Amino acid sequence: MNTLPEVPLSRREMLLGLGALVVGAVVPLPGRSGRLLGAEAATGPLVANAFVCIAPDSTVTVLSPNIELGQGPFTGLATLVADELDADWSQMRAAHAPADARLYANPTFGVQGTGGSTSMYVGYESLRKAGAAARALIVAAAAQSWDVPAAEITIERGVVRHAGSGRSGSFGDFVAPAGQLTPPAEPVLKTPDRFIYIGRPLPKLDTRAKTDGSAQYTLDVYRDDMLIAVVAHAPKFGATVASFDDAAARRVRGVVDVRGTDFGVAVYATSTWAALRGRQALAVRWNEAAAELRSTAAIEAEALALVRSRGQVAAERGALDAALAAGHQLIEAEYTFPYLAHAPLEPLDAVIERRGDLIEVWMGSQIQTGDQMVIAQVCGVKPGQVRLNTMLTGGSFGRRAQQGSQFAAEAAAVFMAAGGRRPVKLFWTREDDIRGGFYRPQMVHRLRGAIDAEGRIVAWEQVIAGRSILTGSTFEGAMVNGIDQTMVEGAADLPYAVPNLQVSVHVTKSPVPVLWWRSVGHTHTGYVVETFIDELLERAGKDPIAGRIELLADQPRMAGVLRRVAEISQWDSPPPAGRARGVAVVYSFNSWVAEVAEVSIGPAGEPRVHKVWCAVDCGRAVNPDIVAAQMEGGIGYGLGAGLYGAITLDEGGSVRQSNFHDYRSLRIGEAPEIEVAIMPSAERPTGVGEPGTPPIMPAVANALRRLTGKPARQLPLVQRG
């Protein structure tokens, strides 16, 4: 039986952080928690520590504190353990760890959660230690069983050996005796020259289950007697239910209940189709007193007025005004960015069931501690009574990492509103998702730059206006000097040596909820900085790559990825006729990524991106193939959004888009060929899930400017007709 986590975290503790991960703590196997990919949980396993569980059949299951949503932590964390354990890759498995902040808090946030592209950065220490500790237990148990000195025991590819006596065995042989031993407090880690798996493109552990339909996502969870619920959500942000008539809905065959909740009107049915038809048959009157009724065009106009004046200063150096006044050439530019939905292919969903005094939940939870606490609160139990099973999930891109856990709160409210007895699966349709808010904020930037008579960039003024993600959220404690760093990251820390600089912000307000979206502030700051510097360099008569490198004297790793991308793209040779190349480089999540895009204008007048070259410096690449895959994915995700993506509100406040027919996504024929080069490095591994995204759109826009002679300062580039 699993020990339930007592997680009485106060909000203050969440914000201050809970401290380091507990390595070597013994927890019972949460066998019921994650589906052990490729293997059933055997009886009597060795739980070496919070992260490593070895079964009598010698399979090694790594418990991932991070959610696997396609970015690869199952494989990456298992690689770290397998290397220190000297296991054979074929015996490795991975599953989600249970929700327990005491054991699995991410030191970056102080709670259990996945974000900021931190899984490998954090795991590089904790998971290797866990693997080394497990190895020490196996060695000690073997030494005891064979009555030989531990120092004479070797492990190679999962085979435990004592050369002197000719004895050998497998991990499973020592599971029982090892369980009686105390793991070492400070296990000795390998030196990198002895790594056997780290740095190699090992096959991913979860691929096979994702090619035969057997991988289990939240939507695939069916419990006995379960109801399927859909919610009629308010058509405008901030509106609430005034009244509703459910007579017609209740007549739909299969509909068993209809209930009002704080999140809308919930329809419960024995099948998904009945729930959807029941929702269609509802008549709801909404109270729009607190609703956003403005259009996004009106909100944008307000932000454009704001950037005419300086806001709260986030960064400043030199004497900006004097430098602007003395500049030989002055360039001004305004940029606008729309709201963006994340649109993970599996929309939000959760299953909740009551079992005795426990609440059991299945969901693609990205901030397990927050979701667990909120569900406990809504269900009237202690957090330790909420058993949260983190599921494989059909993408997130930030959507499932909700500060405030509103979706978990909705799922719990819907479960409780129906009586809190029958299991309930809450299912969001694509329309719920596209119109559900928690968007990348709509943003506006105003730039002024000056070049002196010698062609040096001497002044940089950037005024940013838009929504703050952190203000008023559970992560408000992460603000620095009252400024939400997610609004200015990448700009306030401008990497280029411009002597006179000022970056300031205006925060706008709206009931439209906003959220981090793959690479967060860099989605707009990366675009602005990298297209504006490109224009300034062009005016100064400099090459885009050489000119950038000149300004990066104290940024060797940034200059390094630029040089590398110049090599692989053959930057110095001209592109084919009708095409142009553009470059961009962005530092985000502790990694440096430079991209070159080769672009033409297609027959329908839309930009066509033929090829992208990418150079990434993410420290030591634990699995280079996953690094490459994340660059490819980050590029495709950013490209689709930058070319086509926009959520707009009509006058009156209704979201215009509803599904993939009008929230256009990148399709295969629009996806470029991508070549990725990974910089060799002995530094600690850093982020790869997000950093591939920011450079792609400025690289494309810079190429387009060369083709058309006009800068592109409004996203998306393909405007709706």
Closer CB to another protein, 203 or 472, in the complex: 203
Distance (Å, rounded) from C-alpha 710 to C-alpha 311?
Answer: 28
Q: How many residues does the chain have?
A: 721
What residues between 288 and 317 interact with another protein by CB under 8 A? none
CB of 189 to another protein, least distance (A): 27
Q: Is 253 in the site for another protein (CB under 8 A)?
A: yes
Among 640, 645, 691, 698, binds another protein (CB under 8 A): 640
50 closest CA partner among 25, 85, 71, 72: 25
Among 44, 164, 203, 380, binds another protein (CB under 8 A): 203
CB of 303 to another protein, least distance (A): 28
CB of 520 to another protein, least distance (A): 18
Among 188, 290, 298, 345, binds another protein (CB under 8 A): 345
Q: Render 663-680 in DSSP notation, one character per residue.
A: S----GGGPPEEEEEE--
The token duo for 242 is 């005034």
Among 39, 217, 404, 610, binds another protein (CB under 8 A): 217
182: number of Cβ within 10 Å: 10
What residues between 406 and 465 interact with another protein by CB under 8 A? 429-430
In this structure, the strands spanning 46-47 and 153-156 are unpaired
Which listed range, 5-13, 83-91, 205-213, 240-248, lies at the site for another protein (CB under 8 A)?
205-213
Which listed range, 100-108, 179-187, 314-322, 628-636, lies at the site for another protein (CB under 8 A)?
628-636
Q: Is 34 in the site for another protein (CB under 8 A)?
A: no
Half-sphere exposure of 415 (CA within 13 A, CB side): 30
3-state secondary structure of 256: strand
Q: Is 633 in the site for another protein (CB under 8 A)?
A: yes
Which listed range, 102-110, 331-339, 344-352, 571-579, lies at the site for another protein (CB under 8 A)?
344-352
Strands in 500-508's sheet, in edge-to-edge order, are: 312-317, 500-508, 457-467, 443-451, 329-337
CB of 194 to another protein, least distance (A): 26
Closer CB to another protein, 47 or 281, in the complex: 281
Contact between residue 397 and residue 690 where contact means Cβ atoms under 8 Å apart: no
Q: Is 38 in the site for another protein (CB under 8 A)?
A: no
Q: Look at the block and give the residue holding tokens 């839309």.
A: 606
Distance (Å, rounded) from C-alpha 103 to C-alpha 215?
Answer: 26
CB of 401 to another protein, least distance (A): 15
Distance (Å, rounded) from C-alpha 549 to C-alpha 371?
Answer: 45
Q: Is 71 in the site for another protein (CB under 8 A)?
A: yes
Which listed range, 14-22, 340-348, 600-608, 698-706, lies at the site for another protein (CB under 8 A)?
340-348
Contact between residue 23 and residue 51 where contact means Cβ atoms under 8 Å apart: yes
CB of 272 to another protein, least distance (A): 5
- Please tell me the count of residues contacting another protein according to CB under 8 A: 59
Q: How big, in percent rounded to 5, are the helix, strand and coil portions of the chain? A: 30, 25, 45
Distance (Å, rounded) from C-alpha 424 to C-alpha 420?
Answer: 9
Q: Is 280 in the site for another protein (CB under 8 A)?
A: no
CB of 358 to another protein, least distance (A): 25
Closer CB to another protein, 273 or 297, in the complex: 273
The token duo for 137 is 């237990």
Cα angle: 168, vertex 170, 173; to 5 degrees: 100
Among 109, 268, 337, 397, binds another protein (CB under 8 A): 397
Q: Is 395 in the site for another protein (CB under 8 A)?
A: yes
Distance (Å, rounded) from C-alpha 22 to C-alpha 631?
Answer: 32
Mark 346-375 with x for binding to another protein (rule: CB under 8 A) and - for no binding. Answer: xx----------------------------
3-state secondary structure of 190: coil
Q: Is 341 in the site for another protein (CB under 8 A)?
A: no
CB of 434 to another protein, least distance (A): 10
Q: DSSP character for 575? A: P
Among 185, 454, 603, 661, binds another protein (CB under 8 A): 661
How far are the Cα atoms of 165, 343, 443, 450, 576 from residue 499, in angstroms, in the given order? 70, 41, 26, 11, 38
CB of 60 to another protein, least distance (A): 20
Distance (Å, rounded) from C-alpha 219 to C-alpha 327?
Answer: 59
Q: Which residues bind another protein (CB under 8 A)?
A: 69-72, 203-204, 206-217, 219-220, 222, 228, 253, 271-273, 343-347, 392-395, 397, 429-430, 625, 629, 632-633, 635-637, 639-640, 659-661, 665-669, 671-674
